[in-house]
Amino acid sequence: MQTKLLDDVRNQNPIVFNISNFVTVQDVANGINAIGASPIMSEEIDEAEAMVQMSSAVALNLGAFTTGQIAQIKRVGELANQYHKPLIIDPVAVGAVQYRLDVANQLLSDFQVDVIRGNAGEIAALAGIDWQAKGIDAGEGNQDLDLIAQSCAQKQHCVVILSGPTDVISDGQRVVHVLNGTPLFQLHVGSGDMLSSIVGAFAAVTADYFEAAQTACAVFATAGQIVAEQLAEERPGTFAVQLMDELHLVTRAEIEQKLKVE
Amino acid sequence: MQTKLLDDVRNQNPIVFNISNFVTVQDVANGINAIGASPIMSEEIDEAEAMVQMSSAVALNLGAFTTGQIAQIKRVGELANQYHKPLIIDPVAVGAVQYRLDVANQLLSDFQVDVIRGNAGEIAALAGIDWQAKGIDAGEGNQDLDLIAQSCAQKQHCVVILSGPTDVISDGQRVVHVLNGTPLFQLHVGSGDMLSSIVGAFAAVTADYFEAAQTACAVFATAGQIVAEQLAEERPGTFAVQLMDELHLVTRAEIEQKLKVE
Amino acid sequence: MQTKLLDDVRNQNPIVFNISNFVTVQDVANGINAIGASPIMSEEIDEAEAMVQMSSAVALNLGAFTTGQIAQIKRVGELANQYHKPLIIDPVAVGAVQYRLDVANQLLSDFQVDVIRGNAGEIAALAGIDWQAKGIDAGEGNQDLDLIAQSCAQKQHCVVILSGPTDVISDGQRVVHVLNGTPLFQLHVGSGDMLSSIVGAFAAVTADYFEAAQTACAVFATAGQIVAEQLAEERPGTFAVQLMDELHLVTRAEIEQKLKVE
C-alpha cells in the first residue's frame, strides 16, 4: 500500500476526464477536486480527443448512457488506449440490466481497460458468474468474493475493485482486502461513482494500477470511516458533505494509522 | 393515515424507477435512498422495459425533457400500465409554459397515471382552471385549492397531491390536508421533485394510492418540519442536507406525534 | 457599488433562465434561489421563446454542451437580444479546449452578450491573449489581469468579470477590483457557474450591467468570505452548504461592512 500516492495526487493535481452519469456527476466532480485532482467532463465526441490528450486519466461511468452516447464512450476509450492514459470503468447496474451488460461487454472488447470498479453484482456479471443483483445495489449471491474479483480481472486482463463492506482488489493473481469503511457509504448514492473517478486520480500518478487501486480504496474508505466515527447517528446527508471535507483534509499519517488491509 | 407504510418501505426496500429532470436528479436519488427505497434512473428507451419490470413503482418528472425524450417518457408510462406498476407524474412548470402543458396533456392521454404531484399552478393547469403560475413556482390565484385538487383528480382519474404550505390530497371525492411542513421547502429547488419520487416509494408498498400519497406527504413534511425546528435561522443549504438525514432517521412514532391532518 | 441591488433582487424575485452545464446545474438552481431570484432550466428549443419571454435575465453556461445543443444555445441567445433581456455567458474551459473556443467565438458573433464571466484562462482566450489554461482551472500566465479583462470587454463590447482571488470587473474603460473572497471557492466545482447565474439575477434588476456585475461579485465573494471565516479548517463540502445558507442570510449591512473594493 503506497499511501505516498496521496501526496503525489495533491502535488501533481492531475486532470481526470470523466464520462459521468447524470445522477451523481456533481459529487464526482467535487470528489475529484477534494482529493486534490482536477475534474473535467464532456458529452461531446468532437472534443473527445482534446479532452483525452489534456488528461492524465480517463474514467468512464456506464451508469446512465443513451444509445447515442455509446459512440462517444467507445471513442473516448479508444483514445485513452491510443494516448496511453489509464482507463477506469464503472459498470453501473450491469448485473441487473441485460442491456447494460451487453453494451459493457461490447465496449470491453473495443478497448482495453486498466481498472474496473463495481459492486459484487456488477463484477460477477462481467466475470460471467451467477449472482442476484438488485437494481443499482449489489444484491446477493453465494460465490466467494475473492474468486469473483480474481476471475473478472483474469477475464478482462485488468485490475478489479469489488467494492462493498470490504473492498476486494485483484490483478487476477494477487488479492488485497481493504477492511476500512462505513455502512454510510451505502446510504449515499454517489459513493461508488466517486470512488471510481478517484481511482483515476491515483492511476494518473503511478504506472502500477494495482497499487493505485488499493490506495484509492484505502484513502476513500478511511476518509468515510473517520467521518462516520464522528457522527452520533446515521446521517446520510451530513455524511456526504463531511466526506467531501475529509477527502480534502485527510493525511497520509491518519490513513496509515487507521488502515486495515489483509 | 397509515404511518405503518414507512416501515413497509424500509423493510421492502422497493426499487423506484425515475425519469428525472437533470436539475434535481441527485437529490431525488438520495431522497429515495434515505427514505429506505432504492432509486434507479435511465434516459435510454432500449432499457425501458427492463427498468419497469424490475421496479415496484415508476416516477416521471416532466421538469426538463427534450422533444427527443418524449418518446421514452411515453414508452415508460405505457410499460408501467402494462406491468401494473404504480405510476406517479410531476408536471413541472406546466402552469407557466404552454409547451410543457401540451406535452403533459398528450402524455396523460397516452397512459393512465395513479398519482399526480404538483404545486397549485401546475395542478390548476392540468385541471383546466385559471391560475397565474410563475416559472417553477406556484404563483397566485383565487380559486379554492381543495376544488383545484379535486377537480384535477376527477379529470385525470387519479390521486392528486397539490403541494404547498398545506398539502391537499384528493382522490376526486375525498380531500385530506397535511398541515405539517416548513417554508424552507420553498428555498430548496429539489423539494417537490423529491416528494414526487418518494410518493413512488410508498405507492410501491400498498395498492391504496390515496393512502400512499397522504403518508408520503406526512412523512416528508414532518421530516422537514423537524429539521426546521432545530435551525435557529433560515439556512436552505443546511436544511437540504439535514432533510436527507431526517428522511433516514425519522420514526413512525415521531411522525404520529407531530402529525396535523384534517 | 450599489448594494441596494441585493434588496431589489429579493423584492422582485426575478426569473433567471439558465442553459446550464449538467455538472453543476443543481448548485446553480439553488444558488439563484438562495440569493432571492427564481431559476428555470430547459434544454428544449421548442420552449426557448416561452422561457426567454417569461424571464428577466438569461444565463448561458458553455460548460458541457454537445453539438446538438449549440442550435438551442444560439436560439436562446438571439431571443434574449430580441426581447432585450440581459444576457450573461460563462465560457467554461475555452482556454483549454480549442473546440470550445471555436464554438464560443461563433456564438459571440451570433448574438450580443451583456456580461461575460470567466477565469483568467477563459477571459484571455476570448480576448485573444496568450495564456496557459489548465482544464477547467485558470492556469498561469504573465499578462496583467486588468489588461486582459479590459481588452476582452473592448473586443466583445460588454462587461467582463475575470474571477479569481481578486475579481476584476471591466466595461472596457473602467476597471473595478473586488478583493473579498476565500480560497475555498476554488475547492468547490460549482462556484464560478453559480456566480455567473447570480450575475443574471442582478442584471435583471438594473439596466447598468457594470454595476450589476460588481455587486454580484461583491455579494458572492463576501458571502463566501463570511462562511470561510467561521470554519476552523478547509472544509469544501461544508463550505458549499453554508455558502447556500449565507447567500440567503447575508444583508446589505454585512456586505458594506466587509466590502473591499478598489
Task: Give tens-digit pLDDT for A81-98.
Answer: 999 999 999 999 898 899
Secondary structure (3-state) at C206? coil
> Under a CB-based contact definition with an 8 Å cutoff, are residues B159 and C64 in contact?
no
Residue to test with chain A: of C184, C187, C189, most A Cβ within 10 A: C189
Mean pLDDT of C176-199: 96
pLDDT at site A194: 97
Tell whether residue C55 is among the known ligand binding residues: no
Question: A134: which chain B residues are within 8 Å (Cβ-Cβ)?
Answer: 15, 38
Chain B 185-204, residues with CB within 8 Å of chain C CB atoms: 187-190
Chain C 157-186, residues with CB within 8 Å of chain A CB atoms: none
Taking the Cβ of residue C106 and every Cβ of chain A, the question of whether any pair is shorter than 8 Å is answered with: no
Write the secondary structure of B49-75 as one string of H (helix), E (strand) and C (coil): HHHHHHCCEEEEECCCCCHHHHHHHHH
How would DSSP label each residue in B77-94?
A: HHHHHHTT--EEEE-TTT
Close Cβ partners of C193 (under 8 Å, ≥ 6 residues apart): C20, C21, C24, C27, C28, C61, C63, C90, C92
CB contact under 8 A, C40 and B136: yes
Grid coordinates given for C211? 454595476
pLDDT at B91 over 70: yes
Cα B11–chain centre separation:
21
Close Cβ partners of B105 (under 8 Å, ≥ 6 residues apart): B126
Question: B96: which chain C residues are within 8 Å (Cβ-Cβ)?
Answer: 40, 54
CB contact under 8 A, A30 and C237: yes
pLDDT at site A27: 95
Cα A113–chain centre separation:
12
CB contact under 8 A, C99 and A33: no
Taking the Cβ of residue C47 and every Cβ of chain B, the question of whether any pair is shorter than 8 Å is answered with: yes
Mean of the per-residue pLDDT values for chain C?
Answer: 94
pLDDT at B141 over 80: no
pLDDT at C179 over 80: yes
Task: Give the pLDDT confidence of A29-44 residue by residue, as tens digits.
Answer: 999 999 999 999 998 9
Chains touching chain B at 3 or more Cβ pairs under 8 angstroms? Answer: A, C
- Buried (b) or exposed (e) across C36-71, using 16+ Cβ within 10 A? bbbbbbbbbbebbebbbebbbbbbbbbbbbbeebbe
pLDDT at site A238: 98
Question: C245: which chain B residues are within 8 Å (Cβ-Cβ)?
Answer: 233, 235-238
Task: Indicate the pLDDT class of residue C193, thresholds 50, 70 and 90.
Answer: very high
Nearest CA in chain B to A99: B47
pLDDT at site A248: 98
The enclosing H or E element of C198 equals: helix C191-203
Pairs across B and C, CB distance < 8 A: 92
Question: B66: which chain A residues are within 8 Å (Cβ-Cβ)?
Answer: none
CB contact under 8 A, C44 and B65: yes
- C25 vs A26, A33, B235, C192, CA distance in Å? 8, 17, 20, 12
Give the torsion sign (CA, A199, A204, A206, A209): positive
More confident of the two residues C139 and C110: C110
CB contact under 8 A, C93 and A40: yes
ipTM of the complex: 0.94
- What is d(CA C191, CA B44) in angstroms, rounded to the nearest whole number? 31
- What is d(CA A190, CA C179) in angstroms, rounded to the nearest whole number? 35
Boundaries of domain holding A235: 4-258
**Shortest Cα–Cα distance, C52 to chain B (Å):** 11
pLDDT at site C5: 98
CB contact under 8 A, C136 and A38: yes
Secondary structure (3-state) at C204? coil
pLDDT at site A49: 96
Closest residue to A22, CB basis, from B25, B30, B241:
B25
For chain A, residues with pLDDT lower than 70 are 133, 136, 138-142
The enclosing domain of C138 has a CATH number of 3.40.1190.20
Task: Give the pLDDT confidence of B23-72 residue by residue, as tens digits.
Answer: 899 999 999 999 999 999 998 999 999 999 999 999 999 987 788 789 99
pLDDT at B216 over 80: yes
Tell whether residue B190 is among the known ligand binding residues: yes
Mean pLDDT of C7-16: 98
Task: Give the pLDDT confidence of C121-169 residue by residue, as tens digits.
Answer: 999 999 999 887 677 676 766 679 999 999 999 999 999 999 999 999 9
Taking the Cβ of residue B74 and every Cβ of chain C, the question of whether any pair is shorter than 8 Å is answered with: no
Residue to test with chain A: of B49, B58, B245, most A Cβ within 10 A: B245
CB contact under 8 A, B99 and C47: yes
Tell whether residue A163 is among the known ligand binding residues: yes
pLDDT at site A136: 66
Task: Indicate the pLDDT class of residue B9, thresholds 50, 70 and 90.
Answer: very high
Write the secondary structure of chain A as one string of H (helix), E (strand) and C (coil): CCCHHHHHHHHHCCEEEEECCCCCHHHHHHHHHHHCCEEEECCCHHHHHHHHHHCCEEEEECCCCCHHHHHHHHHHHHHHHHCCCCEEEECCCCCCCHHHHHHHHHHHHHCCCCEEEEEHHHHHHHHCCCCEEECCEEEECCCCHHHHHHHHHHHHCCEEEEECCCEEEECCCCEEEECCCCHHHHHCCCHHHHHHHHHHHHHCCCCCHHHHHHHHHHHHHHHHHHHHHHCCCCCHHHHHHHHHHHHHHCCHHHHHHHCCEC
Mean pLDDT of C90-96: 91
pLDDT at site A93: 87
Task: Give the pLDDT confidence of B111-131 residue by residue, as tens digits.
Answer: 999 999 999 999 999 999 988
pLDDT at site B63: 82
Tell whether residue A194 is among the known ligand binding residues: no
Nearest CA in chain A to B13: A134
In the beta sheet, which residues pair with residue A163?
A119
Number of domains in chain B: 1
Taking the Cβ of residue C66 and every Cβ of chain B, the question of whether any pair is shorter than 8 Å is answered with: no
- What is d(CA C196, CA C224) in angstroms, rounded to the nearest whole number? 15
